[in-house]
Chains A and B, each alone.
Chain A
């Protein structure tokens, strides 16, 4: 087999993965479980690398921070009003306070949404990638080759996780970064099964000499 043939011998994920055989390709990039996405790409994606699955934290896990944000946003003006403190201000400052509060609220919601949206875990046919934007001033991107994965554990804790079927997946690798954590992702059992199918395929490729 020539090098070029070897290069193109990587099979489609549906050919070896039971999980992906039953999953439809989606164009909705707002979902938390995006299988075989057509319109999502990475800047570090290799030319022939295919994104198989994109995961985000389950929406229900964002409810806590969303409610907390709503509470703070509503509570502070209400408290200031009821205490009569705000009435001690000259009128122009009362208006200015509410305008500032609305702008601040809009900014906080945007920030919360963006961190959720861009914090993704990606499984390609070659690697697992953790794109981590923990805050607006910190970001980290780490990846490991599928062949370097040594151990995969799915952990579901709490009644909410059981009801809404989400959990944390811990992936031990032999690479530079030894542990990956896919936190609060939907359908953890499916994800672990997919990773094990990818690992098996990687081993088959090595044995059959399809890809170096």
Chain B
């Protein structure tokens, strides 16, 4: 009984820790993508569209991880 309780507690605590970490990562990546927009407006190069894509991939990955942790952990 005690072991089951401990395992559930550990599971819950780990889930909260993972979700919180993924949330902070998502917020950070969101700030990064906003900054990318500012960067490519400041310095205009032929690479601008690829930079946006890089930011978008990062954002989608961070979002997928956050949602995945929230739903499946």
Give A137 to B58 CA distance when docked, in angstroms. 16
A107–B42 touching, CB < 8 Å? no
B42–A118 touching, CB < 8 Å? yes
Taking CB atoms, residues of chain A closer than 8 Å to B68 are 96, 99
Q: Could you give, for residues 47-72 of chain B, a 1 whenever the CB lies within 8 Å of some chain A CB and a 0 otherwise?
A: 10001001101100110010011001
Give A89 to B41 CA distance when docked, in angstroms. 45
B29–A107 touching, CB < 8 Å? yes
Give A89 to B18 CA distance when docked, in angstroms. 12
B73–A103 touching, CB < 8 Å? no
B43 touches A (CB below 8 Å): yes
Other-chain contact of B45, A40, A44, A100, A141 (Cβ < 8 Å): A40
A139 touches B (CB below 8 Å): yes
Interface of A is mostly: mixed
Taking CB atoms, residues of chain A closer than 8 Å to B47 are 29-30, 117
CB of A106 to closest CB in B, whole Å: 7
| Interface footprint category on A | 20 to 34
Given known contacts A100-B65, A110-B58, is B44 in contact with A42 (CB within 8 Å)?
yes
Other-chain contact of B14, A39, A44, A90, A118 (Cβ < 8 Å): A90
Taking CB atoms, residues of chain A closer than 8 Å to B61 are 103, 106-107
Count of A-B contacts judged by CB separation below 8 Å: 89
For chain B, the count of residues having a C-beta within 8 Å of the partner chain is: 35
A93–B18 touching, CB < 8 Å? yes
B46–A99 touching, CB < 8 Å? no
B73–A29 touching, CB < 8 Å? no
A174 touches B (CB below 8 Å): no
B42–A96 touching, CB < 8 Å? no
Other-chain contact of B32, A39, A41, A92, A136 (Cβ < 8 Å): A136
B45–A39 touching, CB < 8 Å? yes
Other-chain contact of B43, A40, A103, A136 (Cβ < 8 Å): A40
Give A141 to B7 CA distance when docked, in angstroms. 54
Give A131 to B35 CA distance when docked, in angstroms. 14
Closest to A30 in B: B47
Q: Could you give, for residues 6-26 of chain B, a 1 whenever the CB lies within 8 Å of some chain A CB and a 0 otherwise?
A: 010011001000100110010
Give me 19 other A-B pairs in contact (C-beta within 8 A), A90-B11, A118-B39 excluded. Answer: A41-B43, A43-B42, A44-B42, A90-B7, A93-B18, A96-B68, A100-B18, A100-B21, A103-B65, A106-B61, A107-B32, A110-B32, A110-B54, A110-B58, A111-B32, A114-B54, A117-B47, A139-B38, A139-B39
- Listed by A's residue number, 19 A-B pairs whose Cβ atoms lie within 8 Å are A27-B46, A29-B46, A43-B42, A44-B42, A89-B14, A93-B14, A93-B73, A96-B73, A99-B65, A100-B25, A100-B65, A100-B69, A104-B25, A107-B61, A110-B32, A110-B55, A114-B32, A114-B39, A137-B35
